[in-house]
Amino acid sequence: MVFTFDRLRELGPASLVLKALIVAVVLDALLLGFILFRRNYRKRYFANRDKRLLELRRDWEALVSGNIPYETWRSNPSDRRIVETIVLDAFEAAEASESARLLRFLRSSGLIEKMIFDARSHRGWRRLRALVALGRTRAPEGVPALAEGLSDPALETRLAALRGLGRMACPEAGKEILCWVLEGGLQVPALPLQMALIQCCAERPQILLPYVQHCEGAIREVLARVLGEVATPALAQDLLPFVDDDLPELRAAAARAFSNMKATVALETLSELSKDNVWFVRLRSVVSLGKLCDVGAVPPLLRALTDSHRLVRLRAAEGLVNLKTERAEIFEQVVAIRDRYGLHAYLTALENASQTADLESAIKSSSISQQHQTQLLEVLSTSKLPAQQIPLEEFTFKKAASNP
């Protein structure tokens, strides 16, 4: 050994290079040994896990029913994670009765309480995993723990808690989200917040109204979009003040809520909203006009056929096609508008509703003159406007069935 060091000293500066090479070789050997040891360990771990998974799967019914004591697997962390994974995966495709049975199993075995404890006591990725698992169970008792996760400093953890509350799809979870937003502001991206609130507030959209009235800025805009998605006809009177609101989302929500109101009350408001500057407000008002099933909606729907937005034209055409009134006279007015995009939208809606043959029969049996019938049938078959304007004849619409 002394002779070796003497020889290295004789090399001078080159000895440093040689020592570095020796150290590198030793470190590479240690790293390679660690990689091989880790691969073997993980191979044995996953082999044992798969073996245990097969055993638990074979006795799954006895395990869920409680015939196998929970103490035989719950004290083992590996077995507990396997059981938890199987149950959470089964939730995704289970029917209502099976979901209730799995939820009873989670409660009786104490797994729900374990998830809640982990979500409250851990931090970092452990808390994130617990919040995701708790949200997948859709257990109402997990709402407070998920609400606490909204205050976590990590964005990923806050998003996991938000999505978990959205999976609950209950008003209580929606109130927790709304209170958190009102206190802390917009601390997550708008789209996940909207999706979670839509799921939670679909059952009781009226819980949004106080928050929309008192919030400002970006938060009010997000809540207005949510209200526009979940608004129901029962909120029509509450949404009436929003018809002239500065936010187009609130005007769209009001238009949606008027869809099942009495035609005498809703027609004037929806007709005005169908002229709005924002396309989706016009779209919502046109859809609501079509749902009124009243002949008074014909003029604004015909006007909407000339709209600059394709979806507005298509929904207006669908409203006209579904209207229970004289189809031939309606088609004559559509042709008289002389808008080829509106004509194509009407013919598309007619074809989608499989009513092309009915319209052809209605034209032939109508009181319109023979010349006009020939021109209208030609337009129907060629989907092209006539070279000259077709003068409108006098006619009277039959009263359609209106919603009460």
Asked whether residue 6 carries a pLDDT value surpassing 70, the answer given is no
The tens digit of pLDDT for each residue in 97-116 reads: 888 898 999 998 889 999 99
Q: What phi and psi values does residue 376 have, to the nearest 5 degrees?
A: -65, -40
Cβ 110 vs Cβ 74: under 8 Å: yes
**pTM score, whole prediction:** 0.71
Instruction: Give the pLDDT of residue 236.
Output: 75
Instruction: Give the pLDDT of residue 11.
Output: 59
Asked whether residue 326 carries a pLDDT value surpassing 90, the answer given is no
Measured CA to CA, the distance from residue 106 to residue 100 in angstroms comes to: 10
Measured CA to CA, the distance from residue 62 to residue 215 in angstroms comes to: 52
Q: How far is it between the farthest Cα atoms of the chain?
A: 122
The tens digit of pLDDT for each residue in 45-101 reads: 888 888 888 888 888 888 888 888 888 888 888 888 888 988 888 888 888 888 889
Measured CA to CA, the distance from residue 355 to residue 319 in angstroms comes to: 13
The domain ranges of the chain are 276-404
Average pLDDT over residues 18-36: 87
Instruction: Give the pLDDT of residue 399.
Output: 41
Average pLDDT over residues 118-131: 92
Asked whether residue 404 carries a pLDDT value surpassing 60, the answer given is no
Asked whether residue 156 carries a pLDDT value surpassing 90, the answer given is yes
Which single residue is written with the structure tokens 């409660």? 107
Local confidence band at 397 (pLDDT 50, 70, 90 cut-offs) = very low
Asked whether residue 249 carries a pLDDT value surpassing 90, the answer given is no
Q: Which of 138, 139, 176 is nearest to 158 (CA)?
A: 176
Work out the burial of residue 131: count CB atoms within 10 Å of its CB; fewer than 13 is exposed, 13-18 middle, 19 or more buried.
buried
Mention every residue, 6+ apart, whose C-beta is less than 8 A from residue 47.
Answer: none
Residue 379: both structure tokens together: 């337009």
**How does DSSP classify residue 388?**
S
* Sign of the Cα pseudo-torsion (327, 328, 332, 333, in order): negative
Average pLDDT over residues 28-32: 92
Measured CA to CA, the distance from residue 286 to residue 308 in angstroms comes to: 14
DSSP string, 115-150: HHHHHHH--THHHHHHHHHHHHHT-GGGHHHHHHHT
Measured CA to CA, the distance from residue 158 to residue 169 in angstroms comes to: 17
Q: What percent of the chain lies above the pLDDT cut of 90?
A: 25
Measured CA to CA, the distance from residue 65 to residue 67 in angstroms comes to: 6
Measured CA to CA, the distance from residue 298 to residue 294 in angstroms comes to: 8
Cβ 180 vs Cβ 150: under 8 Å: yes
The tens digit of pLDDT for each residue in 345-393 reads: 888 888 888 888 888 888 888 777 777 778 888 888 888 877 666 655 5
The tens digit of pLDDT for each residue in 270-282 reads: 888 899 999 999 9
Which CA distances in Å does 248 have to 97, 157, 244?
42, 32, 9
Q: Which of 296, 231, 240 is nearest to 269 (CA)?
A: 240
Instruction: Give the pLDDT of residue 148.
Output: 93
Instruction: Give the pLDDT of residue 145.
Output: 94
Instruction: Give the pLDDT of residue 7.
Output: 62
Average pLDDT over residues 286-305: 88
